[in-house]
Structure 1
Amino acid sequence: MARNTERRTLLSDAAVRVLSHQGSRGLTYRAIDAEAGVPTGTASNYFGSRDAIIAAILTRISERLQPDPDAVQPAADAPGIETLAAYLRDILHRLTADRDAALALFELRLDATRRPSVAEALSMWRREGLMADVDFTETAGLPADRADIVLFHYALDGLLLDQLTVPIDDDADPDAAATTLARRILGH
């Protein structure tokens, strides 16, 4: 079977959905094939191992969660706490808009506690994401350093998990929470 980018993307998206809906134990070649609507055996032709599936999932999630350049540009044009708060809200919106990707990431984090290969792949992916956020923040002249960005990651992970699962406060406004986080972490 010819390997093509569209088919790989279809299978990768199916793997994200399977992981999000069924968890790590449900992430099988057969489940990916069924979710993608392709003949049995197709996923195994594209991904030779479970590690290859995990790598494809992480790559696809990265692609799906890329910020819109039009949303990022204003941050570079008007650095300040409110602009950083807007950037945090944009991150939160992207993650909640792609619920499957966000839940798949949480599933991978849980799986990483049991599988060293998943831990290694996910750790590298997350560190690269952190460094990209730090680089963006510095380049844009936003008022945060690496330690602040790490705190934002911790806080947004918790806020996102809360929004996607069982909210502690049904009336909470995630945008207001992200804005408050920016102000408080940066001391304003």
Structure 2
Amino acid sequence: MRQNLARRAALVDAAIEVLARDGARGLTFRAVDEEADVPKGTASNYFANRDDLLNQAGARVYERLRPDEATAGALLAGRTSRADLAALVREAVDRVAAFPTGYLALMELRLEATRRPALRALLTEQVREDMRLNVENHLASGLPGDADAVRMIHLAASWLTVERLTLPGVLPGAEGTDLLTELVERVIPEEG
């Protein structure tokens, strides 16, 4: 297998685009080569098989969706109220929705994981770690709410992102983000 890390990353990013556009069935080495604009056969030199490509795409989506520590720290700095939490949740949904092909590819990968145990294990670990980090960062930040509240908000925000990207007419305009504010207000006890 080839080790040019920049080329490998470009191929995995191309795989994410193919997954989002064509679904898991459309993810072939040839489609990835075309999306990455590289010679035919390049992807097959970098990935042992399709499962390897799917697994690496799953890991890469999370790399690109998760803010780095500095960004996460800046987002949390000085925010301690329920209103601040609602704003953070809206910002998170907006940030994830700004990478629509990544999130759509992730949905494809989740469906494919029902048939591929290795991919299921990888995504389970990624989502579990994402949830753990959300809870840990939240509790350390001084924002109101406990671990269960964070998990409920995470799940609701995740599904709102699915609605926004797949059926945007269900909750058009600010309807969805207004619901996030309402959710936070109902799940998190009033301050004071």
Q: Same fold (TM over 0.5)?
A: yes
Deviates more, 1:35-44 or 1:45-54: 45-54
Q: Where does residue 133 of structure 1 map in the other structure? A: 134
Q: TM-score scaled by structure 2?
A: 0.88
Q: Where does residue 120 of structure 1 map in the other structure? A: 121
Structure 2: distance between partners of 1:177 and 1:100: 24
Residue 74 of structure 1 and its aligned partner are, at CA, apart by 4.5
The aligned amino acid for 1:186 is I
Change (3 A) 1:122 1:140: same
Structure 2: distance between partners of 1:117 and 1:160: 26
Q: Is the 8 A contact 1:18 1:27 kept in 2?
A: yes
Q: Is the 8 A contact 1:130 1:150 kept in 2?
A: yes
Extract structure 1 runs of 4+ deviating beyond 4 A. none
Tell me, which stretches of 5 or more residues in structure 1 are unaligned?
none
Structure 2: distance between partners of 1:125 and 1:26: 24
Q: Report the identity percentage.
A: 39
Change (3 A) 1:72 1:116: same
Q: Where does residue 19 of structure 1 map in the other structure? A: 19
Q: Where does residue 103 of structure 1 map in the other structure? A: 104
Residue 40 of structure 1 and its aligned partner are, at CA, apart by 1.4
State the superposition RMSD in angstroms: 2.0
Q: Where does residue 49 of structure 1 map in the other structure? A: 49
Structure 1: distance between partners of 2:75 and 2:181: 16
Aligned length: 188
Say which SS state the counterpart of residue 152 (structure 1) adopts.
helix
Say which SS state the counterpart of residue 176 (structure 1) adopts.
helix
| Deviation sequence 1:46-70 (CA, Å, 0-9, x none) | 2212332123212321232232645
Deviates more, 1:90-99 or 1:61-70: 61-70
| Deviation sequence 1:147-178 (CA, Å, 0-9, x none) | 11221122112211111112323344332222
Change (3 A) 1:150 1:46: same
Tell me, which stretches of 5 or more residues in structure 2 are unaligned?
none
Q: Where does residue 178 of structure 1 map in the other structure? A: 180
Q: Is the 8 A contact 1:148 1:186 kept in 2?
A: yes
Change (3 A) 1:153 1:80: same
Structure 2: distance between partners of 1:110 and 1:127: 17
Q: Is the 8 A contact 2:79 2:85 kept in 1?
A: no
Change (3 A) 1:151 1:123: same
The aligned amino acid for 1:185 is V
Q: Is the 8 A contact 1:76 1:141 kept in 2?
A: no
